[in-house]
Copies of this chain bind each other. A is one copy, B any other.
Amino acid sequence: MPQTPSTRWCPTPEQLMILEEMYRSGVRTPNAAQIQQITAHLSYYGKIEGKNVFYWFQNHKARERQKLRRRLSRHQQLLHYQLHQSEDAPPPPSPILQRHMPPHLLHQVFFFFSCLQEATTQGMDLVGKLETVGTEEEEEEPMTSAMGFEQEWMTTMDASSRVPPCCRPLKTLDLFPVKSTGLKDECSSSKSSSCSTSTN
């Protein structure tokens, strides 16, 4: 039994508190000396190594950025949608498919097609761009506080409530100029309601 129960560092509440405090105080990329210092200090509350501190700051910073990034891109995407919301007659990808197919399947097929198109045109001219859709985007609450820090490329899309039967699917290639700004795209964070996942 190679014990190695859990080589992973597990911050104690005190350590975490201190780290967060420092982060809030402005520490984001501590130097080696600072890291040593921090580590020495935190070691009082439990086992800790320099790399733990290093990684902690790295992750914390990265995840906070992700949040920001995703927020920005989400906004931009929404704006983009709005700017292009004039077309409401998307060309059916495959009229034949619509013949005998349940709505949800049709939707799915559309989706796949859109994926196809996106992938095929990835990194190329974004001719199609997304049109259609672009309805009012409700103001989803930021409420990121519920999660603390984690990756959030999470978007709060819950259009399930009043989704127009046939709107979403067709957007051809909805890539947005996110990379150009140096910021990737992420999503927002929020909690969903529970339901029954079974049926599998």
Q: Which residues of A contact B (CB under 8 A)?
A: 1-2, 4-14, 16, 18, 22, 31-37, 39-41, 43-52, 54, 70, 73, 77, 97, 101-120, 122, 137-139, 145-148, 150-164, 168-169, 171, 174-176, 178, 184-197, 199-200
B106 and A108 form a contact (CB under 8 A) = yes
Residue numbers in B under 8 Å from A155 (CB-CB)? 36, 39, 49-51
Q: Is the CB of B116 within 8 A of A119?
A: yes
Closest-by-CB residue of B relative to A123 is: B120
Is the pair A160, B47 in contact by a Cβ cutoff of 8 Å?
yes
With A7-B193, A41-B168, A50-B151 known as contacts, the answer to whether A157 contacts B36 (CB < 8 A) is: yes
Q: Which secondary structure characterizes the binding site on chain A? A: loop
CA A192 to CA B168, docked complex, whole Å? 34
B122 touches A119 (CB 8 A): yes
- Asked if B103 and A103 sit within 8 Å, CB to CB, the answer is no
- Could you say which residues of chain B place their CB within 8 Å of the CB of A35? 151, 153, 187
Asked if B168 and A44 make an inter-chain contact with CB atoms under 8 angstroms apart, the answer reads: yes
* A40 contact set on B, CB distance < 8 A: 157, 159, 168, 171, 174
Question: How many angstroms between the C-alpha atoms of A147 and B1 in the bound complex?
Answer: 7
Q: Which residues of B have CB within 8 Å of A199?
A: 13, 148
Chain B residues with CB under 8 A of A189: 49, 51
Indicate if the CB atoms of B50 and A154 lie closer than 8 Å.
Answer: yes
Please determine whether B109 and A158 come into contact, CB atoms closer than 8 angstroms: no
A111 to chain B, nearest CB (A): 4
Q: Give the residues in chain B near A156, CB-CB below 8 Å.
A: 36, 39, 49-50
